């Protein structure tokens, strides 16, 4: 049973009644251990009409429309309001509050200047302004370097910060003399209540209106067995469950507002501020309007922009007003010793936002499902291990009287000599580990497992959408809004036929040119991957001949080692070389993909992410899987036969498979690439950021807290970046491909993935909590385009595994021999090896292929194929057994695909995407929310009628009451 996650509430309501499951954090008191002057200022703020008093803030909301904080205009393509004009709230005759960088901008209140604040009593680890009251929602940093761009950057900053103040944000600047290195200025940003409620309405943020009265799910009696894996309730569910509704400034008394300073969580606050920062203009350059913090970061005007962590991760903050959620996440989630514990998804979502929360929810669920696949894979592997001694094929190969008497044809032209079959004894025994009857069962099982994984994830995702208030979340609220880069680069405008508003657009001719350049670039790089794969194949062919000639001894015909055959030595070295090429190409292409996606100028954020995702996935799909596809479906399939071998570029002879099959080589290739990628990925994700942070703050680490401020500590951390989650998803999806597309060749692949993911969760959480700045919170109700990619790979995996079992494994030829060509009733598989090897007359060798020496004067040699012997009238043509086996392989592929697909579709049909209890809760919440809103409107109408408001007609009252009745009936 899936554990119930409480839906998040955006605001702290009054204290929970006794007996409730979760306790809302108490409202943060407006007290702070600073100077007496600051305390006095705070007391003044609490009084009605004070600087930050709630009553004063509420009174200001009653101003006329002409005095509203920000004038908004609807966008041309969605319902999201876009900032079009900034107004500074000033009373009549009120002047500007002094220099830009030294002013604490406030909305309609007087605030003491920084010189009046006694900074000596404030901890530099604080997340508040110098007054100890206003929370720091965002930090901008810059270095005032005196280069040729200095004056231009200064003008940009002055204009940008002035516009931020006009938007209602409050700024406080820390001089570079206060910084640890004496070079960096820090601009701290606070969003006052008026700004928060304005943009909460713009961004359609949901806030609590009523306590959830829906009973929780019946507890599973087996939950007691999971107690060791549980986390404390206050960690798992830091917020109670409430019905919510989109915020509206006109209906503030409807919401459960207990304290304005804590009503909006820090993640909501930094999301709102970031929304303003990305749209705030800073001037006009080259005839074009410039805006957005991203451009200012790119041109060096600012060096960083980030929200603050709430405390140090290794200890709690000394400030009692800090939530210490970072410390809790580190202690309960980010340490590897907690690997067996569940993830505090609600706390992750609260601290980092829904987008990061949904990633860790998916990764955790994927890891849980891998446990089942890993158990079945280990069982299949153990079956192969315990039946090694019963494998008749390897017995015959190792038998001196059988394999020792079979002389095989040379592995390469001229330089290689004849060799005895029993020299591959060890490799044939190990090949049985992965090439047995369990291989077929595991391939079918994984086809069904991947369907269960995707269907159960949909249910899990639907539950999270309800618990996290994302049911009615529309992507246009955040993802479908126009990118600032699009608005800046598209100078032409046209009227939207729906909204009748002018909106920027990219001409069709410009789009076509950009797409042609983009497509050509992607095609070039994919061709480069294929060329590199061909180069590796050429390496395999050239080195294979060298290994074959070096590892044979003309007198004993024994290789240097019984296990290290020429095939295996070539496969291992080629796999390692291929992995190195993969890493190099990845490093270069990541930057190329971002560049060409930027060049296309996607219209929306979602469009940008989807285009970049498809480019990166296409590239990495070809990059990582091409070598595995070669070994699985091409190696040993187009070899020819002695005297008529096929050659690549008419020079290098194509590779042959081991007499026991190519599956062991596919296993080797898969293991090296998959394990190498996971090890390298963990090094990149954990060790590299740690080294960078250690090097960057090696001096500052020893500074006392009063010299190393909270904003400086976070400034010295690494940047997670807008594409941080993109790379995490990409890494996991590529791993998903390894354990689904080629799992028939390596049943231990899910076990490797499981062990990696257990580590991956803790590595990702550790680096996010300790090594990276706090990311800007963002909403997401699903894993996005990755869901479709996973669905496509699940379908493709059925086909690839069917082909692997049919053409790469030796199972079908053995079954055909067992049922149709066996000559012994007591031991049906005896004689299989001799039957699978054809005979070649050495005198038929052309000069190009004939070995230089034949010391023992062999007359015939054997090779792996089904062809008539030299004395047959159909000399060296395929026998009927070859066609029987080919027909059996094709029939197997068709049957396996149809069986697995039928089961997949039946399972998908049987499992609903949304659980029944979640559907019921969604319907009840919508009903109760509508009821509450209608009752509120009805009460307002009654008040207006009682006050003699002529506009509140009796018909309006009746219509509102009738709407309530209709809602109840529905």
pLDDT, tens only, 694-707: 776 665 545 555 56
Model confidence at 525: pLDDT above 80: yes
Mean pLDDT for 261-266 is: 88
The mean per-residue pLDDT over the stretch 934-953 comes to 71
Residue 568's Cα: distance from chain center in Å? 35
- The β-bridge partners of 242 are 211
Place of tokens 């930057």: 591
Residue 105: pLDDT band with limits 50, 70, 90:
very low
By mean pLDDT, which of 75-84, 231-240, 483-492, 727-736 is the weakest? 75-84
What is the predicted pLDDT for the residue at 551?
57
pLDDT at 169 > cutoff 90: yes
List pLDDT tens digits, range 639-651.
Answer: 888 888 888 888 7
| Average pLDDT score, the chain | 77
Cα–Cα distance list, 865 to 821, 835, 836, 883, 886 (Å):
15, 9, 6, 12, 12
**According to the model, what pLDDT value does residue 324 have?**
87
Structure tokens at 780: 């997401």
Q: What is the mean pLDDT of residues 603-611?
A: 81
| DSSP β-bridge partners for residue 290 | 283
Most confident of 563-577, 578-592, 947-961: 578-592
- What integer pLDDT is reported at residue 55 of this predicted model? 31
246-256 average pLDDT score: 84
Residues near 873 by Cβ (< 8 Å), separated by ≥ 6? Answer: none
Q: How crowded is the C-beta side of 810, counted as CA atoms within 13 Å?
A: 30
Secondary structure class of 867 (helix, strand, coil): strand
pLDDT beyond 90 at 961: no
pTM for this entry: 0.80
Q: What is the dihedral of CA 740, 742, 745, 749, to 10 degrees?
A: -50
Residue carrying structure tokens 């004067």: 857
Residue 359 has pLDDT above 90, yes or no: yes
Query: Are 157 and 163 contacting, i.e. CB atoms less than 8 angstroms apart?
Result: no
With cut-offs at 50, 70 and 90, classify the pLDDT of residue 352.
Answer: very high
Here the tokens at position 614 are 């498809």
Locate the DSSP E strands across 251-321.
281-285, 288-291, 304-306
Structure tokens at 295: 């451009």
Min mean pLDDT across 33-42, 599-608, 782-791, 861-870 is at 33-42
For residues 434-462, average pLDDT: 91
In this predicted structure, the answer to whether residue 6 has a pLDDT above a threshold of 60 is: no
Question: What's the whole-number mean pLDDT along residues 760-789?
Answer: 90
Q: What is the pLDDT of residue 84?
A: 36
Q: Note the pLDDT tens digit of each residue in 212-234.
A: 777 666 566 666 777 888 888 88
Least confident of 62-71, 385-394, 832-841: 62-71
Which helix or strand (DSSP H or E) is residue 880 part of?
helix 880-910
Confidence (pLDDT) at 526: 86
The predicted structure's pLDDT at residue 5: 38
CB-CB contact of 639 with 659 (8 Å):
no
Scanning 601-662, the segments in alpha helix (DSSP H) are 605-633
Helices (H), 551-604: 566-600
42 and 503 in contact (C-beta within 8 Å)? Answer: no
Tell me the pLDDT tens digit for each residue of 273-285: 998 998 888 887 7
Residue 173 is predicted with a pLDDT of: 92
- Distance separating alpha carbons of residues 5 and 348, to the nearest angstrom: 12
pLDDT in the model for residue 931 = 82
| Percent with pLDDT over 90 in the chain | 24
């Amino acid at each position: 049973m899936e554990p119930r996650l409480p839906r998040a509430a955006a605001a702290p309501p009054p204290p929970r009644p006794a007996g409730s499951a979760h306790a809302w954090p108490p409202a943060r008191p407006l007290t702070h251990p600073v100077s007496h002057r600051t305390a006095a200022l705070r007391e003044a703020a609490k009084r009605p009409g004070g600087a930050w008093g709630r009553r004063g803030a509420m009174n200001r909301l009653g101003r006329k429309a002409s005095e509203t904080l920000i004038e908004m205009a609807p966008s041309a393509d969605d319902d999201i309001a876009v900032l079009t004009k900034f107004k500074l709230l000033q009373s009549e005759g009120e002047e500007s509050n002094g220099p830009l960088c030294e002013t604490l901008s406030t909305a309609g209140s007087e605030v003491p200047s920084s010189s009046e604040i006694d900074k000596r009593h404030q901890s530099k680890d604080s997340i508040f302004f110098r007054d100890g009251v206003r929370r720091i929602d965002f930090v901008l940093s810059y270095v005032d370097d005196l280069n040729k761009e200095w004056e231009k950057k200064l003008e940009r900053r002055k204009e940008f910060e002035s516009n931020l103040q006009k938007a209602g944000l409050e700024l406080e600047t820390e001089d570079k003399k206060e910084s640890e290195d004496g070079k960096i200025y820090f601009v701290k940003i606070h969003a006052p209540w008026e700004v928060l409620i304005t943009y909460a309405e713009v961004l359609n943020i949901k806030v609590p209106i009523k306590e959830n009265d829906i009973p929780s799910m019946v507890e599973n009696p087996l939950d007691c067995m999971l107690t060791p894996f549980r986390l404390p309730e206050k960690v798992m569910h830091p917020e109670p469950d409430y019905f919510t509704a989109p915020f509206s400034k006109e209906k503030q008394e409807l919401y459960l507002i207990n304290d304005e300073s804590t009503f909006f969580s820090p993640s909501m606050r930094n999301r709102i501020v970031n929304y303003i920062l990305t749209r705030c203009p800073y001037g006009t350059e080259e005839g074009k309007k410039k805006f957005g913090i991203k451009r200012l970061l790119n041109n060096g005007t600012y060096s960083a922009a980030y929200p603050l962590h709430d405390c140090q991760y290794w200890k709690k903050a000394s400030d009692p007003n800090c939530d210490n959620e970072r410390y809790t996440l580190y202690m309960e989630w980010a340490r590897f010793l907690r690997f067996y514990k569940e993830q505090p998804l609600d706390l992750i979502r609260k601290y980092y936002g829904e987008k990061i929360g949904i990633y860790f929810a998916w990764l955790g669920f994927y890891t849980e499902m891998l446990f089942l696949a890993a158990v079945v894979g280990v069982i299949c592997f153990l079956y192969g291990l315990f039946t090694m001694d019963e494998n008749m094929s390897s017995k015959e190969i190792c038998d001196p009287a059988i394999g020792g008497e079979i002389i095989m044809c040379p592995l390469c032209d001229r330089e290689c000599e004849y060799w005895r079959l029993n020299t591959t004894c060890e490799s044939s025994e190990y090949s049985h580990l992965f090439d047995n009857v369990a291989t077929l069962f595991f391939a079918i099982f994984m086809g069904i497992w991947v369907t269960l994984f995707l269907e159960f994830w949909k249910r899990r995702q639907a539950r999270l959408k309800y618990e996290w208030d994302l049911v009615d979340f529309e992507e246009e609220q955040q993802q479908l809004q126009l990118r600032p880069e699009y608005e800046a680069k598209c100078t032409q405008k046209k009227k939207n036929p729906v909204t009748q508003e002018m909106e920027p657009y990219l001409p069709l001719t410009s789009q076509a040119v950009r797409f042609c350049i983009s497509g050509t670039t992607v095609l070039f790089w994919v061709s480069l991957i294929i060329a590199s794969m061909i180069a590796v194949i050429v390496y395999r062919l050239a080195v294979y001949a060298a290994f074959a000639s070096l590892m044979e001894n003309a007198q004993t015909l024994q290789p240097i080692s019984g296990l290290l055959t020429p095939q295996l030595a070539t496969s291992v070295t080629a796999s390692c070389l291929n992995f190195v090429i993969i890493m190099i190409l990845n490093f270069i292409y990541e930057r190329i993909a971002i560049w060409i996606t930027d060049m296309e100028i996607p219209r929306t954020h979602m469009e940008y992410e989807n285009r970049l995702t498809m480019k990166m996935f296409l590239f990495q799909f070809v990059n990582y899987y091409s070598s595995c596809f070669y070994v699985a479906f091409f190696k040993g399939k187009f070899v020819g036969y002695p005297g008529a071998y096929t050659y690549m570029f008419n020079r290098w002879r194509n590779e042959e498979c081991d007499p026991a099959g190519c599956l062991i080589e596919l296993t080797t290739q898969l293991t090296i690439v998959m394990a190498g990628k996971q090890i390298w990925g963990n090094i990149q994700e954990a060790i590299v950021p740690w080294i960078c942070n250690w090097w960057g703050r090696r001096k500052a680490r020893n500074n006392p807290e009063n010299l190393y401020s909270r904003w400086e500590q976070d400034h010295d951390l690494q940047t997670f970046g807008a594409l941080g989650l993109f790379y995490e998803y990409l890494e996991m999806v590529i791993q998903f491909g390894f354990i689904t597309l080629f799992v028939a060749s390596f049943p231990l692949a899910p076990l490797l993935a499981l062990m990696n993911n257990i580590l991956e969760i803790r590595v990702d959480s550790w680096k996010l909590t300790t090594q990276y700045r706090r990311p800007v919170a963002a909403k997401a109700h699903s894993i996005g385009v990755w869901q479709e990619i996973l669905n496509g790979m699940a379908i493709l995996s059925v086909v690839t595994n069917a082909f692997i079992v049919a053409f790469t494994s030796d199972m079908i030829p053995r079954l055909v021999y067992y049922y149709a060509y066996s000559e012994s009733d007591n031991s049906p598989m005896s004689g299989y090896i001799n039957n699978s090897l054809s005979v070649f007359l050495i005198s038929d060798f052309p000069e190009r292929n004939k070995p230089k020496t034949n010391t023992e004067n062999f007359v015939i040699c054997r090779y792996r194929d089904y062809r008539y012997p030299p004395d047959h009238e159909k000399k060296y043509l395929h026998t009927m057994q070859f066609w029987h086996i080919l027909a059996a392989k094709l029939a197997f592929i068709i049957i396996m695909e149809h069986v697995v697909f039928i089961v997949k579709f039946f399972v998908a049909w049987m499992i609903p995407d949304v659980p029944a209890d979640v559907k019921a809760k969604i319907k009840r919440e919508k009903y109760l929310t509508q009821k509450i809103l209608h009752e509120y409107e009805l009460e307002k109408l009654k008040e207006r009628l009682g006050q003699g408001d002529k506009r509140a007609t009796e018909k309006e009252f009746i219509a509102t009451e009738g709407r309530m009745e209709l809602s109840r009936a529905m």
